Amino acid sequence: MAQTLTDTSLAAVERALNEERDEGAQRTSVMTHVVWAPATWLKAAERTLAGLSERHPSRTIVLTPAPRRKDGIDALVEVRTFPVGSSSRCIASEVVELTLKGERARAPGSIVNPLLITDLPVFCRWRGEPDWESPELEQLVQVVDRLVVDSSEWGGLPASYERLADLYDRVAVSDIAWSRTERWRAVLAAQWPAIRRAKALEVRGPQADALLLAGWLRSRLRKKVELVHRDARTVRRLAVDGSVVEAPGGAAPTPSDLLSDQLDVFGRDPIYESAVSAAR
């Protein structure tokens, strides 16, 4: 059962976690998962997290800024348990949703730090496009090992890729839009060696996915490839020099699947970084 705390402290949040944890449940966290989720993104973040806890037991800290409210922290604390096989034991996944009010919204780093689990990796899923000059982004980049974004949530493409690239030497970066293109990249790669002659790529899908597919093809072929983009909610059609590419088989991965895959990655991705550079 979740606990709701109003105008609370981090010490009270820790006490609530201890109270919520069942004696028969093992805390088997493999990471601390921080989520920066402004109010407009909170519901989407919660839906994704609902399909994630059992696959990646973690301490998840959801940060929702509310800078116009009176200074303080509100918290929702919950421990979700999952059975281990046929035994009576359970694994526990901790979820802490924090509303950072007033000046607290501008200091997420100092709020997250005491709640991190020692010696475990820290991932941050940033919902929406970051304010690239903001102290909030600066602080969280300093405390996390990996920043996970979805560039299809951004409105400033392709220019925003330049700002993202500025972070590469400071924190490892994952892009869910890049993960979504994996099946299509495999289909294009299967056209080797004929695809070496490609001059134009047509993509019907989200702008980010189209830019990354074109950037990947340019960086792999080391040549100019024109992008023709037609917008759609998902990638529905690819054509190389006018020839339609057969769509990949099977069901597309869910948002939880895509995020789960990124939580298994720890190093930098030079192929993604090259694709971003060529997408600009």
Kindly give the confidence (pLDDT) of every residue in the chain, 280 residues in length, as a single tens digit, with 9 standing for 90 and above: 789 999 999 999 999 998 887 655 556 678 999 999 999 999 999 988 877 766 677 899 999 999 999 999 999 999 887 666 555 566 778 999 999 999 999 999 999 999 999 999 999 999 999 999 999 999 999 999 999 999 999 999 999 999 999 999 999 999 999 999 999 999 999 999 999 999 999 999 999 999 999 999 999 999 999 999 999 999 999 999 999 999 999 889 999 899 988 888 889 999 999 999 999 8
User: Has residue 224 been placed in a domain?
Assistant: yes
Spatial contact of 254 and 47, defined as CB atoms under 8 Å apart? no
Q: 16 and 110 share a domain?
A: yes
pTM above 0.75, yes or no: yes
Q: What share of the chain is helix, strand, coil (3-state, %, to 5)?
A: 40, 25, 35
Domain end call among 99, 118, 144: 144
User: Containing H/E element for 25?
Assistant: strand 25-27
Q: 128 and 204 share a domain?
A: no
User: Has residue 160 been placed in a domain?
Assistant: no
User: Has residue 158 been placed in a domain?
Assistant: no
> What distance in Å separates the CA atoms of residue 79 and residue 59, rounded to the nearest whole number?
9
> What distance in Å separates the CA atoms of residue 258 and residue 101, rounded to the nearest whole number?
31
Domain end call among 99, 129, 144: 144
Which two structure tokens, joined as six digits, stand for 274?
């090259």
User: Has residue 156 been placed in a domain?
Assistant: no
User: Has residue 187 been placed in a domain?
Assistant: yes
> What distance in Å separates the CA atoms of residue 171 and residue 143, rounded to the nearest whole number?
9
User: Has residue 116 been placed in a domain?
Assistant: yes
76 Cβ contact partners less than 8 Å away, ≥ 6 residues apart: 2, 3, 4, 5, 95, 96, 97
Total domain count, the chain: 2
> What distance in Å separates the CA atoms of residue 107 and residue 124, rounded to the nearest whole number?
15
User: Has residue 169 been placed in a domain?
Assistant: no
Which two structure tokens, joined as six digits, stand for 181?
């293109």
Task: Give the length of the chain.
Answer: 280
Q: 18 and 82 share a domain?
A: yes
- Range of the structural domain that residue 229 is part of: 179-279
Domain end call among 144, 162, 196: 144
User: Has residue 154 been placed in a domain?
Assistant: no
